[in-house]
Chain A
Amino acid sequence: MSPDFFQKLFFSNPIDATKVLLISCLFMTGFATAQNDTLVKGGKLSEVIVTGQFNPQSVDKSVFQVKVISRADIDRQAGNNLADLLNQTLNISVMPNASTGKSGVQLFGLDAQYFKILVDNVPLINDEDLGSDTDLTQINLDDIQQIEIVEGAMGVEYGANAVSGIINIITKKKARHTWEITPFIQEETIGEEYNGVSEGRHIQSIRIAHNFSDKWTGNAMFTYNDFDGYHDGLQGRNHYLNDSLRGYRWLPKQQLHAKAFVGYNPNEKHRFFYRFEYFNELTHWYNPIVDPRYDAPTDTYDELAQDRDFETNRMVHLINASGTFSSGLTYDFYASYQQQERNARIYNYYFRRDTEEDLSDDVYESRKVYYSKATVSNFLDSEWIDFQLGYEVNTIRGYASMFAYEFIGEPIERNLGTYDFFGSTEMKFGKKFTVRPGVRGLFSSQFNTQVAVSLSGLYDVGNGYELRAIIGTCPRLPDYEELYSYFVDVNHNVQGNPDLKPEQGVSAFLHLNKVFKKEKGFELETKLSAWYIDVQDRIELIQTQFSPPTFRFANIDLYRTIGSSLTGSAKTGNWLLNAGVTYGGIAKVLNSSEIKNDDFLYSVNVNGNLSYTIPKWKTTFSAFGKYNGPQYQFVQQYDENQQVILVRGKLSDYTMIDATVRKTFAKDKLEVTLGARNLADVTTLNTTAVNGSAHTAAPSSQLLGYGRSYFLKILYRFNFG
C-alpha cells in the first residue's frame, strides 16, 4: 500500500487536511467550558523497566543504570520521530543528512554501527543490519510507552554491535478503556517554509485500541507523515536550468507507519502477544543537473533530469510468550520475522512535457531476518541468587547492489547466521549489594567465535545513595562495505577484506545516584557517572600500496572515550526540571595513518528541560535545550611545503532549543500542542574537522537543520467503556 493510497483514504487531497485543521481550530473555542483541576502528570521518578532485567522491575532496583524517556516526556516534546526526541538527550548527537534524509547518530562519539535499537527487546531491522545502523527518522513515536536507554557495552544481554549501548523501545500494550480511538493531525513549518499544501510537514494519524475481553486486547495505528522538503533557496522540481539550483536542500519524503498488536493474557501466569509493523518511506531526489538536450536543427530544448525515488519497505512480525511455570521458573520467548528493503526508481523527468520515463526500478539493498530469543530464569526461587540462561539466534539474508555502496563491483548476496548462548546470575549479598556476572558465546557462520562478558554491581550505600558499576565487552561485526567492497580499474583499487575480524569493544561505567525526597512533593534525583569505552581492532580503509594506490579495509585502529556526567531532575508542585552536563574525551589511535596524534580531545554537552503546569488552564509549558560544545578532531592538511600535517579541526558548538505549550480541553479529550523547534535557528555548523578526499575537497560547513520551525498538533481521544 503506497502512501498516496493512504492519503487518499484519509483525505482526498492535501487541501482537505488543511480544512480539517482549520475546522478543528474553530471548534476549539466551543470547548472552553468545564475545567477540572487535574494535574498533568510529570515524569515519574520510579518507572518499571524491562531492559536487561530478568523480570520487569522498578528502575532503582536494576543493576544496570537505565535511562527512561517516558510517554509524558515524549508528549511534551511532540517530536515526530526518534531523531527529534533523542536530539535532546545527553551523550547522543543526531546529525541529519540532508541529501539522504537519514539521521546519523552518535552515542559517545561512536556511530550507529556501535549501538542497537530494539523494539520490545528485539532488535529492529533496517536496510543494512539488524538493530545497528538504524535510521532514527524511520521510527515514529505514536505507539511507544517508553524508551529505555542503557549506556555501555551490552554484549551479554543483547549480542554483537551493542558496544556503546542500546536503545530499547517499549510499545503500548494495554488499553484503559474498552475502546480508545485517538486521531491526531500535526502541521509543521519547515524553517520559514509552509503553505499547507506543497510546503511544510503534514501528519495524520489514528490509533485504535480495543479490549475484546479481559483476556484479549488489541490495537492498531496508522500514521502518515508528509514532509514537503526544504528549499533553502533551491528552486524545487520544476527548475529547468542547469545552474545547480534545482531540487531541495532537504529531500521531500512521505512516510507511512502501520502497526497492529494483539495481546492474550489467559491468566495471571502467562502472557502472549503478536505485533505487526509495516513501514513505507518514499524519498524524492531531484537531480540538480539538468541536461538541456539542445536540438540544433530546431534550436529548441527538451530538458531532462535523471531523478530518483528511493522507497523503503519494512515489515516486522513478532511473537512473544512470557510467564511463570508452576515450578516458579520464568520464561520469555520471542520469535520474529523481519524484512526491510530499499529500492530506487530512476527515471527521466522531461520538463517541457511534464512526463516521467522509467529507466530502472530495482531493489538495491535488503535484509531478511529470522530471529528467535528466549530466556529462562528463577531456577532456584531464591531471594538471594538467580540465574538466567538464554539463546539468541538469527539468520540474516542480505543483498546489496552497486547502488548501495560506492565501491561494490557486483551485487552481493550473503547469509549470515549468528547463534548466541548466554547466561548470567544475579547474586544478592545482604540487602545492599547485588552482583551480576554474565557471559555470552557468539557463534557465527562468518566469523570466529566471539565472547562477550560483563560484570555489574549495585551497592545501596544508604542515605539514598546507590552505586552501580558495569564492566562489559561486546564485539562489532564488520559490515558489507568493509567485507565485500570491490572497485578495481586502471586508475583505482579499493578492496574489502573478507578476513576482517570483529572489532572488540570494552566499557566500564560507574554511576552514583542520590535521591532526595523532601516533604510536600519536592523530589530531587541526582546522578554522577563516569565511563571509559575502548574499541580495539577498529576497521579502517588503509592505503596498502602507494603506487599504484591500493586501498584495503583492515583491523588496525583503536578508539577510546572517557567522560563523566552529572544529571539531576527535580519536581516540586507544578514545576519539573531536568538538567545534565557531560564532559567527555575521545582519542583515536590511527595506526593506519603515518602521522597521528592520539591525545584525548574533549567536548562538553549540557542539556536541560523545564516544564510548568497551570492546572486551572490545563496547560503545560515546556522548554528543552541542549548545548553541544565544540567538537574537535585531528584532520590531515597540507602545509605550505605540501607536507601532510595533523591539525586540530573543530566542529562549532550549537544549541538546540525546543518549546511547547500543551493545553487540554473537554475533560482532557481534546489536546492541542503548539510548539517550536530549533528556536536558536541553527542551520549550518562551521567545521574544519573533515578530511578532504581524492575526489572531493573538505567541506567547511555541515548542514544541521532547516532552522526554526513551528508546529501545531491536535489530538482527540474518543474513549468508551
Chain B
Amino acid sequence: MKQKLHLLFTTVVFALVILGCASEDPVPAQPFVAAFEKTSYKYSDIPDSQEMFVVFSETATANGTVTIGITSEEASYGVDFKTTPEAPSLTFTLPIIAGQDKTSFLFQNLIFPFDSDQKVVTFQILSIDYARETNIQGYTTSVVSFEESLGGVSEPHIGGPNQGNQIYVDLSSETTTEVFRESWDLGFYCGDDFRVGLNGSLYMAAKKLDATNIDAVTQASVSQYFNQVAIGTFDPANMDYVDDPTGAISGTAIDAISVNDADNHVYLVNLGYTVGTTTPVPGSVAIAGNPRGWKKIRVLRQGDQYILQYANLNSTSHQEVVIEKDAAYNFRFFSFNTNNTVSVEPMKDQWDLNFTVFTNEIAGSGSYGYSDFVLNNLKGGAKAYEVSTSFSSYADFSVANIDESLFQNDQRVIGADWRDVFSGTVYTNRFYVLKDPNGIYYKIRMLGFLNTDGVRGYPKFEYALLQ
C-alpha cells in the first residue's frame, strides 16, 4: 500500500511536469529588402541634382550590395542626365553597410532649362546581395518624369498630441501647407453664395441673435446662451450653432448674407479654445487649451464684397472691415487676433486633403470635438469614397475598379473612422479612392497615427496614382 501511494505521488509529479509542453510560436522571419524611398520624382523640381535613397527593411547587420538598373525615354545617359556612382552601362551597385538602414545615389540633371517634358528615367532594383534571405519587393522602381506623383508615403505634421496644425495636402504635387489652428477665425466663402464659416478646429460656435444693431448687444443680454452655444454639450440642438460637418456651404451656422442689411442679424460667437499646451499621457490628446472668449459679429454685403462688423460683447462701438472674394480660393480668412485677412488654404484646386481637428456631429448627441480628422476638399471638387478590403485589396485596386457613382457629397469620407482611438491602431479593412479637383485619381490608405512612443498626432498614410 505504502509503495503504491508513493508510486502514485511520483507519477502525478511526472504527469504535471510533462503536461502541456506548448511553447509559443516564434515570429516568422522576413526577407531583407532594399527598395526606393519614393516611387517618383518630378523632373521639373530637379534643376541640378537629386539625392535618391534606397531604404532597407531593417538596419543592416552585415555588408552587401544592391544593384540598380536604369531605363529611359527621350533621355540619354551622359547627355540629359547622369548618376553618381556613374553607370555608363546603365547599371550600378550601391553598398549595403552594416549598421546603416539606407543608402543613396545622386541623380544629376544635365539639361536645364528643359528642352522637352517627355523625358522619363526609371530606376529599378535588379538584385540584392546580402548575408541572408533577400527579396525584391515594395517600391522596386522609382521614376523621374514630368507627370504627377505616382504616390508614396506622407506624414502630415499636425503637431503631436495638441494637434496645433491644419495640414493641407496636395497629392499630385506632393506638397503640404501647414497652418496654425489659431491663426484664423472666420472664412468668407468665395463661391457664388455669400456665406461665412467658423473655425471648427477651435470648436467655435455661433448663435443668431434677434438684434440687428451690433452695438446694442451686451454681455448681459447674451450670457444666458453661454452654456448652449458650445460644442460637446450633448444637446442635439447645438448643431444649429456649428457649420454643417458634411461641408455643404448651405449649412453654415451663420445664415446666408443678405443684400438687404435688415435681414443680417448680429451673431454671438463662441471663439472656442486655444490650442492646448499640456502634454497628455501617451495615446491621449490635449486639443483644447483655454477658452478664447466671445465676440459679437454682423456681416453685410456691399456688392460682391463682405463687410464684417465685430466687437467684444460689452463694447458699444465696433470695428468694420471689407473683405473681397477671390475666385481662386474656397474662402478668404479673417483673424480677430490680427484684425486682418490671413492666408490659410492653398488655392482651391491645389489641395486634396486637410488633416485637422474638427467639429463633427454624434447623431443624437449633437456636436462633438474630434481629433485626427481628415477632410477632403469637397468645396474645391475633391471627392472620395471608402472601399472595403473585402471588395478589393489596396494593392489590387486599379483604375478599372473605380465606381464614379460612389463618390460622396461629404468632406468626411476619411473623417475619423480610419482609426480606433482606444487601441491606437488604424483599421486595415478599408482604404479610400479620391478624385482630386483636376480629375486625377488616387487610392489612399491610412497607416498610423501614433509615433513609436505611442504619442498621438503623428498620422501617416500611403497613396498611389490610379491610371
- Complex Cα–Cα for A29 and B356 (A): 75
CB distance A300 to B19 under 8 Å?
no
- Complex Cα–Cα for A553 and B288 (A): 24
Selected contact of A298 from candidates B17, B55, B448, B454, CB within 8 Å: B55
CB distance A359 to B282 under 8 Å?
yes
CB distance from A409 to the nearest CB of B (A): 9
CB distance from A206 to the nearest CB of B (A): 21
> Which residues of B from 192 to 216 have beta carbons under 8 Å from A?
203
Binds B, one of A58-66, A285-293, A561-569: A285-293
> Which residues of B from 422 to 454 have beta carbons under 8 Å from A?
423-425, 428, 447-448, 450, 452-454
Say whether B329 faces chain A, with CB atoms less than 8 Å apart: no
Selected contact of A300 from candidates B13, B33, B282, B453, CB within 8 Å: B33
B14 — nearest CB in chain A belongs to which residue?
A22
A712-B13 in contact given A192-B20, A299-B33 (Cβ < 8 Å): yes
CB distance B287 to A195 under 8 Å?
no
Question: Which residues from chain B contact A712 at a C-beta distance below 8 Å?
Answer: 9, 12-13, 16
Question: Which residues from chain B contact A18 at a C-beta distance below 8 Å?
Answer: 17
CB distance A297 to B36 under 8 Å?
yes
Binds B, one of A101-109, A164-172, A230-238, A644-652: A230-238
Binds A, one of B177-185, B230-238, B377-385: B230-238
CB distance B450 to A291 under 8 Å?
yes
Query: Residues 270-299 of chain B: 1 if any A CB is under 8 Å from the residue's CB, otherwise 0?
Result: 000100000001100011100000000000
CB distance from A237 to the nearest CB of B (A): 7
Say whether B153 faces chain A, with CB atoms less than 8 Å apart: yes
> Which residues of A from 6 to 22 have beta carbons under 8 Å from B?
18, 21-22
Say whether B308 faces chain A, with CB atoms less than 8 Å apart: no
CB distance B273 to A490 under 8 Å?
yes
CB distance A547 to B233 under 8 Å?
yes
B1 — nearest CB in chain A belongs to which residue?
A617
Say whether B405 faces chain A, with CB atoms less than 8 Å apart: no
A26-B10 in contact given A198-B23, A294-B447, A548-B233 (Cβ < 8 Å): yes
Say whether B137 faces chain A, with CB atoms less than 8 Å apart: yes
Say whether B304 faces chain A, with CB atoms less than 8 Å apart: no
CB distance B153 to A297 under 8 Å?
yes
Question: Which residues from chain B contact A357 at a C-beta distance below 8 Å?
Answer: 452
Binds B, one of A256-264, A301-309, A685-693: A301-309
Binds A, one of B24-32, B252-260, B410-418: B24-32
A25-B234 in contact given A192-B20, A238-B24, A296-B447 (Cβ < 8 Å): no
A548-B230 in contact given A189-B19, A195-B21 (Cβ < 8 Å): yes
CB distance A298 to B33 under 8 Å?
yes
CB distance from B25 to the nearest CB of A (A): 6
A352-B16 in contact given A29-B10, A359-B453 (Cβ < 8 Å): no
A238-B454 in contact given A29-B6, A298-B57, A402-B281 (Cβ < 8 Å): no
Selected contact of B55 from candidates A193, A291, A297, A351, CB within 8 Å: A297
CB distance B452 to A491 under 8 Å?
no
B364 — nearest CB in chain A belongs to which residue?
A642
CB distance A239 to B462 under 8 Å?
no
A291 — nearest CB in chain B belongs to which residue?
B425
Most chain A Cβ neighbours within 10 Å, of B22, B27, B428: B27
- Complex Cα–Cα for A297 and B35 (A): 6
CB distance B288 to A489 under 8 Å?
yes
Say whether A672 faces chain B, with CB atoms less than 8 Å apart: yes
Say whether A331 faces chain B, with CB atoms less than 8 Å apart: no
- Complex Cα–Cα for A712 and B9 (A): 9
CB distance A292 to B428 under 8 Å?
yes
CB distance B34 to A298 under 8 Å?
yes
**Interface range for A:** 35 or more
Say whether A199 faces chain B, with CB atoms less than 8 Å apart: yes
Say whether B47 faces chain A, with CB atoms less than 8 Å apart: no
A300-B448 in contact given A28-B10, A490-B288 (Cβ < 8 Å): no
CB distance from B51 to the nearest CB of A (A): 15
Question: Which residues from chain A contact B25 at a C-beta distance below 8 Å?
Answer: 235, 238-239
Query: Residues 693-721 of chain A: 1 if any B CB is under 8 Å from the residue's CB, otherwise 0?
Result: 00000000000000000101000000000
> Which residues of A from 607 to 622 have beta carbons under 8 Å from B?
617
CB distance A297 to B139 under 8 Å?
yes
Query: Residues 98-136 of chain B: 1 if any A CB is under 8 Å from the residue's CB, otherwise 0?
Result: 000000000000000000000000000000000000000
CB distance B57 to A490 under 8 Å?
no
- Complex Cα–Cα for A58 and B417 (A): 69
CB distance from B354 to the nearest CB of A (A): 20
Question: Which residues from chain A contact B23 at a C-beta distance below 8 Å?
Answer: 195, 198
Say whether B337 faces chain A, with CB atoms less than 8 Å apart: no
A22-B13 in contact given A291-B424, A296-B462 (Cβ < 8 Å): yes
A488 — nearest CB in chain B belongs to which residue?
B288
> Which residues of A from 341 to 364 have beta carbons under 8 Å from B?
346, 348, 351-354, 357, 359
A196-B16 in contact given A296-B139, A298-B57 (Cβ < 8 Å): yes
B281 — nearest CB in chain A belongs to which residue?
A402
Selected contact of A306 from candidates B2, B36, B454, CB within 8 Å: B454
Question: Which residues from chain A contact B24 at a C-beta distance below 8 Å?
Answer: 198, 235-239
Secondary structure at the B interface, as helix, strand, loop or mixed, is loop
Say whether A179 faces chain B, with CB atoms less than 8 Å apart: no
Number of A-B residue pairs, CB cutoff 8 Å, is: 167
CB distance B137 to A298 under 8 Å?
yes
CB distance A299 to B2 under 8 Å?
no
- Complex Cα–Cα for A712 and B19 (A): 14
Question: Which residues from chain B contact A549 at a C-beta distance below 8 Å?
Answer: 234
- Complex Cα–Cα for A292 and B55 (A): 18
Query: Residues 375-411 of chain B: 1 if any A CB is under 8 Å from the residue's CB, otherwise 0?
Result: 0000000000000000000000000000000000000
Say whether A127 faces chain B, with CB atoms less than 8 Å apart: no
Say whether A240 faces chain B, with CB atoms less than 8 Å apart: yes
A490-B231 in contact given A32-B3, A296-B462, A352-B27 (Cβ < 8 Å): yes
Query: Residues 213-251 of chain A: 1 if any B CB is under 8 Å from the residue's CB, otherwise 0?
Result: 000000000000000000000011111101000000000
Most chain B Cβ neighbours within 10 Å, of A199, A294, A547, A617: A547
A289-B425 in contact given A25-B10, A351-B27, A489-B288 (Cβ < 8 Å): yes
Say whether A333 faces chain B, with CB atoms less than 8 Å apart: no
Say whether A583 faces chain B, with CB atoms less than 8 Å apart: no
Selected contact of B2 from candidates A32, A195, A359, A672, CB within 8 Å: A32
CB distance A289 to B19 under 8 Å?
no
CB distance B9 to A194 under 8 Å?
no
Say whether A674 faces chain B, with CB atoms less than 8 Å apart: yes
Query: Residues 323-355 of chain B: 1 if any A CB is under 8 Å from the residue's CB, otherwise 0?
Result: 000000000000000000000000000000000
Query: Residues 450-467 of chain B: 1 if any A CB is under 8 Å from the residue's CB, otherwise 0?
Result: 101110000000100000
Selected contact of B227 from candidates A22, A236, A403, A547, CB within 8 Å: A547
Say whether B372 faces chain A, with CB atoms less than 8 Å apart: no
Question: Which residues from chain B contact A292 at a C-beta distance below 8 Å?
Answer: 425, 428
Say whether A268 faces chain B, with CB atoms less than 8 Å apart: no
Say whether A295 faces chain B, with CB atoms less than 8 Å apart: yes
Question: Which residues from chain A contact B7 at a C-beta distance below 8 Å?
Answer: 29
Query: Residues 398-411 of chain A: 1 if any B CB is under 8 Å from the residue's CB, otherwise 0?
Result: 00001100000000
- Complex Cα–Cα for A710 and B36 (A): 57
* 9 A-B pairs closest in CB distance: A299-B138, A298-B33, A298-B57, A300-B57, A491-B232, A289-B423, A298-B138, A490-B288, A548-B233
Q: Would you list 25 pairs from A and B whose C-beta atoms are within 8 A, ordered by A residue?
A: A26-B10, A28-B6, A29-B10, A189-B16, A196-B17, A199-B20, A289-B424, A291-B450, A293-B452, A296-B138, A298-B57, A300-B31, A300-B57, A300-B58, A301-B30, A302-B58, A306-B424, A352-B27, A403-B281, A490-B232, A546-B234, A548-B227, A548-B230, A674-B12, A710-B16
Known: A242-B428, A303-B27. 11 other contacts (CB 8 A): A22-B14, A195-B20, A195-B23, A199-B20, A296-B152, A302-B58, A346-B454, A546-B234, A547-B227, A710-B16, A712-B12
Which residues from chain A sit less than 8 Å from chain B, CB to CB? Answer: 18, 21-22, 25-26, 28-29, 32, 187, 189, 192-196, 198-200, 235-240, 242, 289-304, 306, 346, 348, 351-354, 357, 359, 402-403, 489-491, 546-549, 617, 663, 672, 674, 710, 712
